[in-house]
Amino acid sequence: DVKVTQSSRYLVKRTGEKVFLECVQDMDHENMFWYRQDPGLGLRLIYFSYDVKMKEKGDIPEGYSVSREKKERFSLILESASTNQTSMYLCASSGWARTDNEQFFGPGTRLTVL
Amino acid sequence: SQQGEEDPQALSIQEGENATMNCSYKTSINNLQWYRQNSGRGLVHLILIRSNEREKHSGRLRVTLDTSKKSSSLLITASRAADTASYFCATSASGGYQKVTFGTGTKLQVIP
Protein backbone atom coordinates (compact mmCIF):
# COMPACT_ATOMS: atom_id res chain seq x y z
CA ASP A 1 0.00 0.00 0.00
CA VAL A 2 1.59 3.26 -1.13
CA LYS A 3 2.10 5.84 1.51
CA VAL A 4 3.01 9.43 2.22
CA THR A 5 3.51 10.15 5.89
CA GLN A 6 3.90 13.43 7.73
CA SER A 7 5.69 13.72 11.05
CA SER A 8 2.83 15.28 13.02
CA ARG A 9 -0.95 15.59 12.66
CA TYR A 10 -1.14 18.57 15.00
CA LEU A 11 1.57 21.01 16.01
CA VAL A 12 1.49 24.10 18.23
CA LYS A 13 4.43 26.50 18.15
CA ARG A 14 5.21 29.97 19.39
CA THR A 15 5.96 33.03 17.26
CA GLY A 16 9.63 33.16 16.32
CA GLU A 17 10.29 29.45 16.76
CA LYS A 18 11.96 27.41 14.01
CA VAL A 19 9.58 24.73 12.80
CA PHE A 20 10.36 21.56 10.86
CA LEU A 21 7.67 19.62 9.02
CA GLU A 22 8.80 16.26 7.71
CA CYS A 23 7.36 14.24 4.87
CA VAL A 24 8.35 10.74 3.80
CA GLN A 25 7.12 8.72 0.80
CA ASP A 26 7.72 5.05 0.07
CA MET A 27 6.91 5.04 -3.65
CA ASP A 28 10.35 6.00 -4.98
CA HIS A 29 8.78 9.13 -6.45
CA GLU A 30 11.02 11.79 -7.96
CA ASN A 31 8.69 14.71 -7.26
CA MET A 32 7.59 16.02 -3.89
CA PHE A 33 5.47 19.03 -2.99
CA TRP A 34 4.49 21.16 -0.01
CA TYR A 35 1.13 22.95 0.00
CA ARG A 36 -0.73 24.98 2.53
CA GLN A 37 -4.49 24.93 2.69
CA ASP A 38 -6.58 27.77 4.06
CA PRO A 39 -10.39 28.18 4.05
CA GLY A 40 -11.61 29.77 0.83
CA LEU A 41 -8.15 29.71 -0.76
CA GLY A 42 -7.81 26.05 -1.66
CA LEU A 43 -4.34 24.53 -1.87
CA ARG A 44 -1.41 26.81 -2.61
CA LEU A 45 1.98 25.47 -3.59
CA ILE A 46 4.86 26.55 -1.35
CA TYR A 47 7.82 24.58 -2.79
CA PHE A 48 8.42 21.50 -4.85
CA SER A 49 11.35 19.29 -5.69
CA TYR A 50 12.11 17.28 -8.84
CA ASP A 51 15.06 15.40 -7.44
CA VAL A 52 17.38 15.08 -4.49
CA LYS A 53 18.88 18.46 -3.57
CA MET A 54 16.72 20.17 -6.20
CA LYS A 55 14.03 22.65 -5.23
CA GLU A 56 11.76 25.10 -6.98
CA LYS A 57 9.68 27.92 -5.53
CA GLY A 58 5.95 27.59 -5.77
CA ASP A 59 3.38 30.35 -5.55
CA ILE A 60 3.93 31.37 -1.93
CA PRO A 61 7.53 30.57 -0.85
CA GLU A 62 8.06 33.62 1.36
CA GLY A 63 8.83 32.69 4.95
CA TYR A 64 9.57 29.05 4.08
CA SER A 65 12.52 26.95 3.00
CA VAL A 66 12.86 23.27 2.12
CA SER A 67 15.40 20.50 2.21
CA ARG A 68 15.63 17.29 0.21
CA GLU A 69 18.74 15.35 1.14
CA LYS A 70 17.24 11.93 0.37
CA LYS A 71 14.81 10.92 -2.34
CA GLU A 72 12.12 9.75 0.06
CA ARG A 73 12.20 12.75 2.42
CA PHE A 74 11.15 16.35 1.88
CA SER A 75 11.24 18.81 4.76
CA LEU A 76 9.51 22.16 5.08
CA ILE A 77 11.16 24.70 7.38
CA LEU A 78 9.66 27.79 8.89
CA GLU A 79 12.73 29.76 9.91
CA SER A 80 10.82 32.06 12.28
CA ALA A 81 7.19 31.09 12.65
CA SER A 82 4.56 33.80 12.51
CA THR A 83 0.85 33.72 13.30
CA ASN A 84 -0.06 34.08 9.61
CA GLN A 85 1.58 30.71 9.02
CA THR A 86 -1.12 29.01 11.05
CA SER A 87 -2.58 26.62 8.49
CA MET A 88 -2.98 23.03 7.30
CA TYR A 89 0.18 21.83 5.56
CA LEU A 90 -0.06 19.03 3.02
CA CYS A 91 2.77 17.07 1.49
CA ALA A 92 2.42 15.18 -1.79
CA SER A 93 4.52 13.14 -4.15
CA SER A 94 4.30 12.02 -7.77
CA GLY A 95 6.29 9.90 -10.17
CA TRP A 96 7.88 11.12 -13.36
CA ALA A 97 5.38 10.65 -16.17
CA ARG A 98 4.76 12.74 -19.24
CA THR A 99 0.98 12.83 -19.10
CA ASP A 100 -0.20 11.21 -15.89
CA ASN A 101 1.02 13.08 -12.83
CA GLU A 102 -1.34 11.89 -10.12
CA GLN A 103 -0.27 13.20 -6.74
CA PHE A 104 -0.38 11.16 -3.55
CA PHE A 105 -1.01 13.12 -0.39
CA GLY A 106 -0.09 12.71 3.24
CA PRO A 107 -2.72 13.19 5.97
CA GLY A 108 -1.68 16.80 6.65
CA THR A 109 -0.22 18.70 9.60
CA ARG A 110 -2.40 21.29 11.25
CA LEU A 111 0.02 23.93 12.53
CA THR A 112 -1.01 26.59 15.02
CA VAL A 113 1.40 29.45 15.72
CA LEU A 114 0.61 31.36 18.91
CA SER B 1 -3.13 33.01 -9.04
CA GLN B 2 -5.52 30.10 -8.95
CA GLN B 3 -5.86 28.20 -12.19
CA GLY B 4 -9.06 26.32 -11.38
CA GLU B 5 -12.27 27.71 -9.97
CA GLU B 6 -14.96 25.30 -8.85
CA ASP B 7 -18.65 25.98 -8.94
CA PRO B 8 -20.70 25.78 -6.79
CA GLN B 9 -18.70 26.44 -3.63
CA ALA B 10 -21.11 24.25 -1.66
CA LEU B 11 -23.73 21.70 -2.63
CA SER B 12 -26.23 19.82 -0.49
CA ILE B 13 -28.22 16.90 -1.93
CA GLN B 14 -30.23 13.88 -0.79
CA GLU B 15 -28.75 10.41 -0.90
CA GLY B 16 -29.43 8.80 -4.26
CA GLU B 17 -29.41 12.06 -6.20
CA ASN B 18 -26.72 13.02 -8.68
CA ALA B 19 -24.14 15.69 -7.84
CA THR B 20 -22.51 17.87 -10.48
CA MET B 21 -19.52 20.10 -9.87
CA ASN B 22 -17.89 22.39 -12.39
CA CYS B 23 -14.36 23.66 -12.83
CA SER B 24 -13.14 26.49 -15.02
CA TYR B 25 -9.52 27.27 -15.75
CA LYS B 26 -7.58 29.98 -17.56
CA THR B 27 -4.68 28.64 -19.61
CA SER B 28 -3.94 25.66 -21.85
CA ILE B 29 -3.61 22.42 -19.96
CA ASN B 30 -1.94 19.06 -20.33
CA ASN B 31 -4.49 17.31 -18.17
CA LEU B 32 -7.10 17.95 -15.51
CA GLN B 33 -7.57 15.91 -12.36
CA TRP B 34 -10.22 15.65 -9.69
CA TYR B 35 -9.44 14.97 -6.03
CA ARG B 36 -11.57 14.32 -2.97
CA GLN B 37 -10.78 15.46 0.56
CA ASN B 38 -12.59 14.13 3.58
CA SER B 39 -12.79 16.57 6.46
CA GLY B 40 -9.37 17.42 7.87
CA ARG B 41 -7.53 14.80 5.83
CA GLY B 42 -5.24 14.63 2.81
CA LEU B 43 -6.51 14.58 -0.76
CA VAL B 44 -7.24 11.42 -2.69
CA HIS B 45 -6.95 11.24 -6.46
CA LEU B 46 -10.22 10.33 -8.21
CA ILE B 47 -9.75 10.63 -11.94
CA LEU B 48 -7.54 12.22 -14.59
CA ILE B 49 -8.63 13.38 -18.03
CA ARG B 50 -6.11 14.37 -20.69
CA SER B 51 -6.50 17.41 -22.90
CA ASN B 52 -7.29 15.25 -25.94
CA GLU B 53 -10.11 13.41 -24.15
CA ARG B 54 -13.68 14.64 -23.85
CA GLU B 55 -15.22 12.24 -21.36
CA LYS B 56 -14.06 9.65 -18.88
CA HIS B 57 -15.82 7.27 -16.50
CA SER B 58 -14.75 5.56 -13.32
CA GLY B 59 -17.42 3.70 -11.36
CA ARG B 60 -20.04 6.28 -10.36
CA LEU B 61 -17.87 9.16 -11.56
CA ARG B 62 -18.14 10.81 -14.94
CA VAL B 63 -15.82 13.63 -15.97
CA THR B 64 -16.14 15.80 -19.04
CA LEU B 65 -13.64 18.25 -20.45
CA ASP B 66 -14.32 21.07 -22.89
CA THR B 67 -11.02 22.67 -23.81
CA SER B 68 -12.71 25.29 -26.02
CA LYS B 69 -14.58 26.58 -22.97
CA LYS B 70 -11.73 25.78 -20.58
CA SER B 71 -14.08 23.91 -18.30
CA SER B 72 -14.67 20.50 -16.79
CA SER B 73 -17.45 18.88 -14.86
CA LEU B 74 -17.53 16.03 -12.36
CA LEU B 75 -20.74 14.05 -12.04
CA ILE B 76 -21.27 11.66 -9.13
CA THR B 77 -24.27 9.44 -9.78
CA ALA B 78 -26.48 7.84 -7.12
CA SER B 79 -24.70 9.69 -4.33
CA ARG B 80 -24.11 8.15 -0.91
CA ALA B 81 -23.54 9.68 2.51
CA ALA B 82 -19.91 8.54 2.22
CA ASP B 83 -19.47 10.90 -0.75
CA THR B 84 -19.70 13.84 1.64
CA ALA B 85 -16.36 15.61 1.15
CA SER B 86 -14.69 18.52 -0.62
CA TYR B 87 -13.84 18.05 -4.27
CA PHE B 88 -11.01 19.85 -6.03
CA CYS B 89 -10.02 20.13 -9.64
CA ALA B 90 -6.33 20.43 -10.45
CA THR B 91 -4.78 21.42 -13.74
CA SER B 92 -1.41 20.63 -15.18
CA ALA B 93 -0.26 23.34 -17.57
CA SER B 94 0.99 22.45 -21.01
CA GLY B 95 4.72 21.92 -20.86
CA GLY B 96 4.76 21.68 -17.08
CA TYR B 97 4.06 18.06 -16.50
CA GLN B 98 4.57 17.67 -12.81
CA LYS B 99 3.31 20.84 -11.20
CA VAL B 100 -0.45 21.03 -10.75
CA THR B 101 -2.56 23.97 -9.64
CA PHE B 102 -5.58 23.34 -7.44
CA GLY B 103 -8.85 25.20 -7.37
CA THR B 104 -10.71 26.31 -4.26
CA GLY B 105 -13.00 23.28 -4.11
CA THR B 106 -16.67 22.35 -3.88
CA LYS B 107 -17.97 21.19 -0.52
CA LEU B 108 -20.52 18.41 -1.07
CA GLN B 109 -22.92 17.27 1.62
CA VAL B 110 -25.01 14.16 0.97
CA ILE B 111 -27.91 13.87 3.38
CA PRO B 112 -28.95 10.31 4.28
The domain total for chain B is 1
| HSE toward the beta carbon, residue A85, CA cutoff 13 A | 28
For A12, other C-beta atoms within 10 Å of its C-beta total 11
Q: What are phi and psi of A99, to 5 degrees?
A: -120, -25
| Torsion angle, alpha carbons of B27, A60, A76, A73, to 10 | 10
Angle at B84 between CA B75 and CA B87, to 5 degrees: 55
Above 70 in pLDDT, residue A1?
no
Residues of A in contact with B97 (CB under 8 A): 97-99, 101
Answer whether A76's CB lies under 8 Å from A51's CB: no
pLDDT for the residue B89 = 95
pLDDT, one tens digit per residue, over A73-113 is: 999 999 999 999 999 999 999 987 656 788 999 999 999 99
pLDDT, one tens digit per residue, over A19-58 is: 999 999 999 999 999 999 998 888 999 999 988 989 999 9
Q: Find, in chain B, the residue whose alpha carbon is nearest to that of A93.
A: B98
DSSP symbol at A56: E
Pairing of strands A10-13, A73-78: unpaired
pLDDT for the residue A76 = 98
pLDDT for the residue B1 = 43
Q: CB distance B41–A45 less than 8 Å?
A: no
| Domain CATH number, residue B52 | 2.60.40.10
Q: Which CATH architecture has domain A4-95+104-113?
A: Sandwich (2.60)
* Domain ranges, ordered by start, for chain A: 4-95+104-113
Answer whether A4's CB lies under 8 Å from A24's CB: yes
| Domain ranges, residue B31 | 5-111
Give the number of beta-carbon pairs within 8 Å between A and B.
63
Per-residue pLDDT of chain B (112 residues; tens, 9 = 90+): 446 788 899 999 999 999 999 999 998 888 999 999 998 888 999 999 999 999 999 999 999 999 999 999 999 999 999 999 999 999 987 665 577 889 899 999 999 9
| HSE toward the beta carbon, residue B111, CA cutoff 13 A | 4
